[in-house]
Homo-oligomer: A and B are copies of this chain.
Amino acid sequence: MEPITRLDHIADRLSLKGKSYRVAVAAAEDANTLGAIIRAAQAGFAAPVLVGNKQAIEETARLAGLSLNPDWILHQPDHASSVAKAVELVKEGRADVLMKGLVNTDLFLKSVLHQENGLMPKGQVMSYVCAIELPAYNKLLFVTDTAVLPFPDLKQKEAMLRYSLKMARRFGINKPKVALIGASEKVSPHFPNSIDYALLSKMAQRGVFGDCIVDGPLDVFLACDPASIEIKGVPTPVAGQADVLLFPSLEACNAFYKGLMLFAGGELAGMICGPSMPVVVMSRSESENSKYYCIALSCLMADD
């Protein structure tokens, strides 16, 4: 199958499957969230389960001019019980995707991470992977971690690598090229990430991560610009054609993707990886399109 190279093709790929994924929205009384999930339902790939205060959800939809199927609503009196119920639905296999609505992110993630009732397999790392579409790049760029791990250690970097590889492969990229990002290609003790990067590169070479190419440290030019490879003469199998960029810190990845959203016409779809099923947490400042793409991405990743 051809790789997906644009975010609006995710929905097309889902419609080929002809399946509709049950998306449990925790505290659904939020206009933005309702707008995005209704659009996904209309596209045919999402079956909304709107957990929250029935009256508030219906009032929110009415004020936003959104038409809602009342059967989608699963009444819960307050935010705390809505989150608990939505997580329970996913845990029991009665929903395929968990999505945050109008509820504090910390409260929401606390439920996801809850040792007994949550969705995290023991010892699993939680991380965030984004697929970014850029008018100036000839394919999607998967970046991690934009939102969860401040300074990932080796174990966390390995999880980030596995999650982003899984996502890239789900998009039809059979042999993803991963650039482990640094300020340059130099292996230096001033950049302790070099050590982790050398280990990950070597593990990849030994086949630990399946069919893929992993190299780093590489700077963004060597990762994404074939011309820079020629100018600098750095031999790397990533060859300026990276599918995945793995960043050394949340601050670095966050500033990178936000710069591209703002100044390079970027669009994104992102999700939390690590829980047993995909989890969608959308930022208020993401575009309407990005929100819709996040739901589509999570549905694409929901099959195991």
Contact = CB atoms under 8 A, between A and B. Distances in A.
13 contacts: A150-B183, A150-B191, A183-B250, A184-B254, A220-B255, A220-B262, A221-B261, A224-B262, A231-B285, A232-B284, A252-B255, A255-B256, A260-B264
A229 to B, nearest CB: 10
Interface in A173-224: 181-184, 190-191, 193, 219-221, 224
A261 B224 CA distance: 11
A101 to B, nearest CB: 17
B190 A134 contact: no
A220 B258 contact: yes
A263 B137 contact: yes
Give 9 nearest A-B pairs by CB, closest first. A220-B258, A252-B252, A264-B264, A183-B254, A263-B264, A136-B263, A228-B285, A255-B256, A251-B252
Contacts of A259: 220, 256, 259-260, 264
A265 to B, nearest CB: 8
Interface in A225-279: 225, 227-228, 231-232, 247-256, 258-266
Contacts of A266: 263
Nearest to A248: B251
Contacts of A232: 284-285
Chain A, interface size category, equals 35 or more
Contacts of A228: 285
A220 B257 CA distance: 9
A181 B193 CA distance: 21
Given A259-B259, A260-B259, A190 B252 contact: no
B284 A231 contact: yes
A221 B251 contact: no
Contacts of A191: 150, 251
B219 A254 contact: yes
B182 A251 contact: yes
A14 to B, nearest CB: 27
Contact of A255 (B219, B250, B285): B219
A241 to B, nearest CB: 13
Contacts of A227: 285
A193 B254 CA distance: 15
Nearest to A191: B150
A237 to B, nearest CB: 19
Interface string A276-290: 000000001100000
A225 B39 CA distance: 27
A255 B251 CA distance: 11
A66 to B, nearest CB: 19
Contacts of A254: 183-184, 219-220
Contacts of A147: 183
